[in-house]
A and B are shown apart, each in its own frame.
Chain A
Amino acid sequence: MSDNTIKVLLAKKKIDVHGRGSKLITRELRDAGMEVVYFRFGTVDDIVNAAVQEDVDVVAVSIMTSGQLHIAENLIPKLKENDMTDVIVIFGGTIPPVDFEPMEKMGVHRTFPAGLPGGVVADYIKENVGKLNLA
């Protein structure tokens, strides 16, 4: 399905504050030709529900005020429960690098630190869509 448009769900965790980074990523992904369902704040239930209804290829969670481990722990199993396994799950934002590995163990495919050059996230998605999933 490489010629099909990639659909991404991008949400900040609920509750949180401002999201300069998530707005920039959304724009970058759009400019890379992707369709981004962007909603500002979502609980794990909101995110899972939206991911299923929107049939996205990527679930992207933006974190600014911690909570990444707690959310990843709940998100991955809930996606699986809802039969959303052919999806890439990525996190990004103010997340300390020591958490990257624990999150990977929980099933998050990649965690991105803040401030990366544009296109890094888009390239990662393009390279991996259809190849990675939540088996």
Chain B
Amino acid sequence: MASEQQIKEQVQPFDQSSKDRAEQVLAGNVRAASRLITEAQNGHAAARDVLTYLYPHCGQAHLIGVTGPPGVGKSTLVSALICELRRREMTVGVVAVDPSSPFSGGAVLGDRDRMEGFSRDRDVFIRSLASRGASGGLCAVANDAVDVLDAMGKDVVLIETVGVGQSEVEIAQIANTVILTLVPGYGDSLQAMKAGVMEIADILVVNKADTPGADGAVNDLRSMDYYQAVPRGDEMWQVPILKTNARRGEGVDELVSEVFRQIEFAGKTGWKEARQKARRTRQFVDMLTSRIRSDFTDSMDKDVRVTALIQKIESMETDPYTACAEILEKFRAAYK
């Protein structure tokens, strides 16, 4: 089903320019990194080559996810986090994901707007991405960008996503620390959260601390006693509840300290390892299934065996279930 050309692309030895490009990214070249992220997002084979070279250099950066419902001030919080991390002399990458319009395919990427004041800072790299209705969810979109910034040498990579679709849950599949942001006063903040979302939080933040009800919200959340289980030992991570006023940078110092406390804990208990393993496994499976899928759908029209089957389905001579089993049988035979 794959064309000869496609097979060639897949198994050809990596060419020199990919290596050079990777070197540029590793050296911190912003333009090279930025272009690479674009190509990766567009699914270019050349980008995959470069990413292969970069992969051994990934895993150093602390990956911190920031998510929550719209309107809680995530971008402002990310901006405050950048300030605090810079104060602690860490270099920062940011991947901010916004949903694409299901109608036009376009998007307004407005997170960067809140992150003012970093344009002269060589050590802050902010990249906005549109979800492009990615069938693999957030991970398909953000994984590569995160890896590029990681390989570039950023100490911390912040991943920001709005709580649309399943993106809050998906962020937990990339980030090692997930900060779930809420605000008081938008109805019961607990009710506002979709089922299952609270479980992804490693740290809960109540932002807009100057709003009446902020303390109440913090107390409510504390009384829920959230925990995260970890693979080794009988330790658990008690999810801390923090209060911030992101616009004024209040509470952000404590937040960052809590983040690093969680990172340390995750390292000691094997939690981080487990999460990273899960991420890469998932990335591998997603990528594989996605590429098989697109390879198949790309060549579907030209493959007489497939078109014949589809005609049979249409004329009721066979059905989708049987047809599927037939093809799968052939794949399995070939794979052996």
Would you call A49 and B119 a contact (CB within 8 A)?
Answer: yes
Chain A residues within 8 Å of B105, by CB: 5, 33
Chain B contact residues, majority secondary structure: mixed
Contact A82 B31 (CB under 8 A): yes
**0/1 interface trace, chain B 100-114, chain A, CB 8 Å (1 if under):** 110111111110110
Q: Are A5 and B130 in contact (CB under 8 A)?
A: yes
Complex CA distance for A1 and B47, rounded to whole angstroms: 14
Closest-by-CB residue of A relative to B129 is A35
Q: Is the CB of A38 within 8 A of B108?
A: yes
Closest Cβ of chain B: how far from A45's Cβ, in Å? 5
B53 at the interface (CB under 8 A from A): no
* Min CB–CB distance A75 → chain B (angstroms): 13
Interface stretch, picked from A50-58, A64-72, A88-96, A107-115, is A50-58
A90 to B107, CA, bound (A): 19
| A30: B residues at CB distance < 8 A | 101, 104, 106-108
In angstroms, how far is the closest chain A Cβ from the Cβ of B92?
Answer: 12
CA distance A34 to B112 in the complex (A): 17
User: Which chain B residues lie closer than 8 Å to A36 at the CB level?
Assistant: 106-109
CB distance from A3 to the nearest CB of B (A): 9
Binding site for A on B (CB under 8 A): 30-31, 34-35, 37-38, 42, 100-101, 103-110, 112-113, 116, 118-120, 125-128, 130, 132
Residues of chain A at the chain B interface (Cβ within 8 Å): 1, 4-5, 7, 26-27, 29-40, 42-43, 45-46, 48-50, 52-55, 82-84
Q: List 24 A-B contacts (CB under 8 A).
A: A4-B42, A5-B42, A5-B130, A5-B132, A7-B38, A30-B107, A31-B103, A32-B104, A32-B106, A37-B110, A37-B112, A37-B128, A38-B110, A38-B113, A39-B113, A43-B119, A46-B116, A48-B119, A49-B120, A53-B34, A53-B126, A54-B127, A54-B128, A55-B38
